[in-house]
Chains A and B, each alone.
Chain A
Amino acid sequence: MKPRTIDIVVTHMILLLLSAVVLYPVLWVLKLALTPGGQLGADPSPIPVPSHFDLSNFRAFLFARDFNGNPLFLYQLGNSLLVSGVATLIGVLFALSAAFAFSRFAFTGREAGLKLMLVSQMFPAVVTAVPLIVILDGLGLFGTTAGLVLIYATASVPFCIWMLKGFFDTIPRDLEESARLDGAGSFVIFWKIMLPLVRPGIAVTALFSFMTAWNEFIMASIFLDDVTRYTLPVTLQQAVGGYDPDWGLFAAGSLLLSIPVVLVFFVVQRHMVQGLTAGAVKG
């Protein structure tokens, strides 16, 4: 179908406009990050091209030290990795066999269980926060890294069960049929056949769960009191909370934190949409 000129022009115009709207804030943040002191002065220009090229904001973010001279960025990076990593591990490990059961077994309460997983995803973390904090407080885990890991695992397990079940569902049944005819029990099927085949699904689920924990800031900011135990999002948000926000520091930090996240996202997103929508349709 040969396109008319008007079609080409209108299409590109709209797409260019959308692209500009998408790019503008990102470039503006880049400009802020490269401006020393984070102040754009009394006459900020609307063009998002950096007029200075000063790396002091990046330096301030990466080499921040606390009162005792500890390297804050390194500490907090480690905290984020630790907390997100362990929460993801818990989520995936506990979810694997349950997802297999939901996918392949017929048992009472299967439908209800799936609905429970879905509904618990709708229930946002902030709302379960209050009882969780009271419980953790009773256990003496308030303010500790272990407590935060438990909070993140709360959201992780149901999500992992749901996503992994979707991936298990995509594996054709004939493989098990033939294995069963050969006399294999359910465990052998699970361990030797299903798991290896669903490996990419596990990777995607783990990555998505890791990302959710990595980007979480609200629970962390309520929960943590010690600056050496902060995770990265808390530091970033604190840079611009309060009465004199440091926009330059924030801009530098967001760029540094976003780039790896964005890269990973681009790799993973195709599978994610598949998993989300396929699961929703099949139910």
Chain B
Amino acid sequence: MTTAPWEGQKAQGVLSARTGWIVLAAVLLVVVLFRPVAQMLEPTPEGVKVILWHSQRGEERDTLEALLRQFNADPRNVGRVYVEPLGVPDAAFKDKLMRNIPRGSGPDLFVRPHNELGELYAEHVVGEVPRDELPFDAGQYVGKLLDGFSIEGRLYGYPLTYKGLFLFWNKRLLPGGPPRDIEDLKRLAGHLPAGSFPIVYDATSLYFHSPFLIGAGGTVFGRDGRSFALFDDPGVGSFRWPGEWKRDGVLPPEPNYNEMVRLFQAGQAAAIICGPWYTPSGPVDEAHEWDVAPLPNVMGRPTGSFITVEGVYLSARSKHPREAMQVAAFLAGPVGEAARLQKLSLPPVSVSAYARMDANPPSDEAGRRRNDIVRVQRAALEHGQVTPNSERMASVWTPAMDLLQASLAGRSFEKALDDARYTLARVDEVRPTNVDWRPYGAVLVVLLMLGTWQLVVRVRRGSAAGEAARARLTGFDTKSALPYLLPGLLAVAVLVFIPLVVGAGMSLYEHEHGSFTFVGFDNFRKILLPPISRLLQARSFYFALGVTVLWTVTNVVLHVAIGVVAALLLRPSWNRLRTPYRILLILPWAIPNYITALMWKGMFNAQVGAINVLLAPFGFTGFNWFDRFHTAFTANLVTNTWLGFPFMMVVTLGALQSIPSEVEEAAVLDGASRWQRFRHVILPYIRPALLPSVILGSVWTFNMFNVIYLVSGGEPGSQTDILISEAYRWAFERGQRFGYAAAYSVLIFLFLLLYSRFTSRLQRAEP
């Protein structure tokens, strides 16, 4: 039989398809193996490798890397020691440190602000630095920089630079020069054009409030460095001032960071309190109307602010501390200091650098401005306080913010003060007492025995039944099923069952500072039975549960509504554009959802987001969507609805195809209106198909971590966090509280289990 011409072509076609796959597979293999092979073939440089972690970006990162390359290229170091930096995202930095260093992995050095020292010290991740290893003499350091890195007199870091707050002021609104005293600014109230204010700053932040706290003579801790003095005299009075100033028109009605930037750049703020990371742009810059000045006097005396010192820490478990200290000393020494001043305008740490600065005034405008910014920060350092590095400091930010918010909102100051003091008092809670595990162990053994007995009974009963006997005859019964099930069951047992059991077990432990303590049901008690006053606040289980339920319901309702409407509109055959519409409308489902979430986060960005630009005619310029619960929730909702309606649309389209046309035609002939047709003909047909999808969709939404975490990030203050993102934060962001997070997960799991029971009963009820 001769081969027909088209048969030969088909054979050729098969060949080229096969070659195509082979080529693709080869390309993919090359890409996959590229890194491992390249890393194997790379010659490892001679000498000790020092790993340095940092979270810097942009120009700071470039400057740091240039300095490190300089170190590596130095002939004294080549062949003996070299440093390799790694950029780690800021938000995850501390947790990564805590996870790695106690296990002996992680960096030798890391660059972090000084105020984290207390926590790092408590976790035993920092190593002591002998004072004679510092690149400058101890006395050569400006102000109290070394105090920032000291605990009980021992030094743990090398200061690199510091940041302080100062004034940016408007030369047009203050023709007489910068305000010397806060009273000057208060007097301006009412004398400025409408919409302009004497001073704007982020009045709910303790950090920006610090100049006033310090000016009033307040401190965070008492003499012993442990007891809280923040809400005691004389500092506590300063917390009333923002409220008074707002009422007197000294502060605008919404004194937050974005407002501060917006008003100043529009030329409507006489002075703002900000730091070196900010450079004014917009009209105030174009008209050359701004300048910098030290903070104004408070109560007749100069004041400073909380100072943050950036420095290099040594890991407690570094395998090469000598070499690591060499790198650190270079980075923190005169070469690094000069580079940071020249390229980044960061204040130097040695007294001699300032003397040099004063001796050689720069000739250009940029250089003069740079020196001014450095000098005003030095003033903030001289009259201010290095932010206390105690780990107890972490507890003061939120109650201080709450108190400032209460002052601004005009709520009862006394009550808010009580709340704040109560919060601080709870910080010194009793440590978990060691609970005896034996009764729990006994109960577990009994449960296991009962469970095994039940299992055996059921298997016996199952194998005697009729269907099972029939199955044995055909060779498709339990015994023959075993070898097929084994690989899958093994994988599930190892990968799913074991983690679940370990997770459930972990919920009975408390994980602190790297070790587990058995606490019985204490975690569950803390989650399910919090103090009544905290019950309905953010970060409580019930609050998160409520938000999650609200989130799920609103999403599912919107997804189904939009999906069904779109499907109905795409149905009629007269619509020639059906297919292009359909393909387009599936697009949100196709895009990976973390990309969608980040995309929408960008669109809701206060400064450059598309949403605010579109809504600018309605006054949305600079509107911060993530400041309030209902706007942050809306942002999440919009994102997830954009993501989720295509799924419902596609399912409905499929279900609509199953409606027999005779039934619909009959309805039309009977004269049924469109709404009646929908309710009595279409709906009963699509309901059985929609129901499983709605259930699936509701579970997906309930667990939609990516959107919540990436779009609103739980802001404001964890209020938009759903149960699953809360569990995540307890595990990975609030100090490795693995036991607590595991208890949370068990509760989520139980809730979903109940929900699946309920929905399968619903499904069975469907005719």
Interface residues of chain A, those whose CB is within 8 Å of chain B, are: 1-3, 7-8, 11-12, 14-15, 18-19, 21-26, 28-29, 32, 39-40, 42, 44-46, 48, 67-68, 70, 74-75, 77-79, 81-82, 85, 90, 93-101, 104-109, 116-120, 122-124, 126-132, 134-135, 137, 142-143, 150, 153-154, 157-158, 161, 180, 185-186, 190, 214-215, 217-218, 221-222, 225-229, 233, 236-238, 240-245, 247, 250-251, 254, 257-258, 261-262, 265-266, 269, 273-274, 276-277, 280-281, 283
**Contact yes or no, A157 B31, CB < 8 A:** no
Known contacts: A98-B484, A128-B500. The answer to whether A153 contacts B495 by CB under 8 A is yes
Report if B490 contacts A (CB, 8 A). Answer: yes
Interfacial chain B residues near A81, Cβ < 8 Å: 28, 31-32
Instruction: Find the B residue at minimum CB distance from A239.
Output: B598
Report if B631 contacts A (CB, 8 A). Answer: no
**Contact yes or no, A124 B592, CB < 8 A:** no
Chain B interfacial residues counted at CB < 8 A: 134
**Contact yes or no, B32 A254, CB < 8 A:** no
Interfacial chain B residues near A29, Cβ < 8 Å: 599, 602
Task: A75-B34, A130-B731, A153-B491 are known; give 20 further A-B pairs, CB within 8 A.
Answer: A15-B570, A19-B585, A22-B584, A46-B616, A48-B610, A81-B28, A105-B478, A116-B492, A122-B756, A127-B749, A128-B499, A186-B476, A222-B92, A225-B106, A237-B594, A247-B608, A254-B598, A258-B590, A262-B587, A276-B696
Instruction: Find the A residue at minimum CB distance from B600.
Output: A25
Which of B92, B474, B485, B705 is in CB contact (< 8 Å) with A124? B705
**Contact yes or no, A277 B651, CB < 8 A:** yes
**Contact yes or no, A215 B31, CB < 8 A:** no
How far does the alpha carbon of A238 sit from the alpha carbon of B86 in the complex, in Å? Answer: 13
Known contacts: A42-B282, A222-B92, A242-B89. The answer to whether A119 contacts B752 by CB under 8 A is yes
Instruction: Find the B residue at minimum CB distance from A21.
Output: B642
**Contact yes or no, B492 A11, CB < 8 A:** no
**Contact yes or no, A262 B613, CB < 8 A:** no
Nearest 6 Cβ contacts at the A-B interface: A98-B488, A280-B692, A107-B478, A108-B462, A131-B503, A105-B481
Interfacial chain A residues near B478, Cβ < 8 Å: 105-108
Query: What is the distance, in angstroms, from A64's C-beta to the closest C-beta of chain B?
Result: 11
Known contacts: A186-B476, A190-B484. The answer to whether A281 contacts B65 by CB under 8 A is no
Interfacial chain A residues near B647, Cβ < 8 Å: 273
Interfacial chain B residues near A2, Cβ < 8 Å: 574
Bitwise, B23-63 to A at CB < 8 A (1) or not (0) is 00000100111110011000000000000000101100000
Report if B684 contacts A (CB, 8 A). Answer: no
**Contact yes or no, B602 A85, CB < 8 A:** no
How far does the alpha carbon of A123 sit from the alpha carbon of B497 in the complex, in Å? Answer: 12
Known contacts: A128-B503, A266-B583. The answer to whether A97 contacts B728 by CB under 8 A is no
**Contact yes or no, A123 B31, CB < 8 A:** no
Provide a sorted-by-A list of 19 A–B residue pairs whose CB atoms are within 8 angstroms. A3-B572, A3-B574, A28-B599, A67-B86, A70-B38, A75-B38, A81-B28, A94-B488, A101-B485, A104-B476, A127-B724, A157-B495, A186-B475, A229-B35, A237-B594, A250-B598, A277-B692, A283-B760, A283-B763
Interfacial chain A residues near B763, Cβ < 8 Å: 283
**Contact yes or no, A273 B709, CB < 8 A:** no
Main secondary structure of the interface of A (DSSP, over half): helix
Interface residues of chain B, those whose CB is within 8 Å of chain A, are: 28, 31-35, 38-39, 55, 57-58, 65, 68, 84-92, 96, 99-100, 103, 105-106, 277, 281-282, 458-459, 462-463, 467-468, 470-471, 474-478, 480-481, 483-492, 495-496, 498-500, 502-503, 506, 562, 565-566, 569-570, 572, 574-575, 577, 581, 583-596, 598-603, 605, 608, 610, 613-614, 616, 642, 647, 650-651, 654, 668, 688-689, 692-693, 695-696, 699, 703, 705-706, 709-710, 724, 727-728, 731-732, 738, 741-742, 745, 748-749, 752-753, 756, 760, 763
Known contacts: A134-B502, A266-B590. The answer to whether A157 contacts B496 by CB under 8 A is yes
**Contact yes or no, A226 B742, CB < 8 A:** no
**Contact yes or no, B581 A130, CB < 8 A:** no
Query: What is the distance, in angstroms, from A22's C-beta to the closest C-beta of chain B?
Result: 6
Interfacial chain A residues near B741, Cβ < 8 Å: 130
How far does the alpha carbon of A273 sit from the alpha carbon of B589 in the complex, in Å? Answer: 12
How far does the alpha carbon of A251 sit from the alpha carbon of B91 in the complex, in Å? Answer: 21
How far does the alpha carbon of A131 sit from the alpha carbon of B505 in the complex, in Å? Answer: 9
Instruction: Find the B residue at minimum CB distance from A104.
Output: B476
Instruction: Find the B residue at minimum CB distance from A211.
Output: B592
Which of A100, A132, A154, A261 is in CB contact (< 8 Å) with B590? A261
Interfacial chain A residues near B475, Cβ < 8 Å: 180, 185-186
Known contacts: A44-B613, A131-B503. The answer to whether A18 contacts B31 by CB under 8 A is no
How far does the alpha carbon of A261 sit from the alpha carbon of B590 in the complex, in Å? Answer: 7
Known contacts: A68-B84, A258-B595. The answer to whether A94 contacts B583 by CB under 8 A is no
Which of B471, B488, B616 is in CB contact (< 8 Å) with A106? B471
**Contact yes or no, B90 A94, CB < 8 A:** no
Query: What is the distance, in angstroms, from B311's C-beta to the closest C-beta of chain A?
Result: 19
Interfacial chain A residues near B651, Cβ < 8 Å: 273, 277
Most buried by A among B484, B498, B577: B484
How far does the alpha carbon of A176 sit from the alpha carbon of B760 in the complex, in Å? Answer: 31
Interfacial chain B residues near A98, Cβ < 8 Å: 484-485, 487-489
How far does the alpha carbon of A214 sit from the alpha carbon of B591 in the complex, in Å? Answer: 12
Query: What is the distance, in angstroms, from B272's C-beta to the closest C-beta of chain A?
Result: 18
Query: What is the distance, in angstroms, from A75's C-beta to the closest C-beta of chain B?
Result: 4
Known contacts: A74-B34, A226-B86, A277-B689. The answer to whether A254 contacts B699 by CB under 8 A is no
Query: What is the distance, in angstroms, from B693's C-beta to the closest C-beta of chain A?
Result: 6
Query: What is the distance, in angstroms, from B372's C-beta to the closest C-beta of chain A?
Result: 23
Instruction: Find the B residue at minimum CB distance from A81.
Output: B32
Interfacial chain A residues near B614, Cβ < 8 Å: 46
**Contact yes or no, A99 B748, CB < 8 A:** no
**Contact yes or no, B709 A218, CB < 8 A:** yes
Query: What is the distance, in angstroms, from A32's C-beta to the closest C-beta of chain B?
Result: 7
How far does the alpha carbon of A108 sit from the alpha carbon of B763 in the complex, in Å? Answer: 23
Known contacts: A135-B499, A137-B103, A153-B495. The answer to whether A215 contacts B709 by CB under 8 A is no
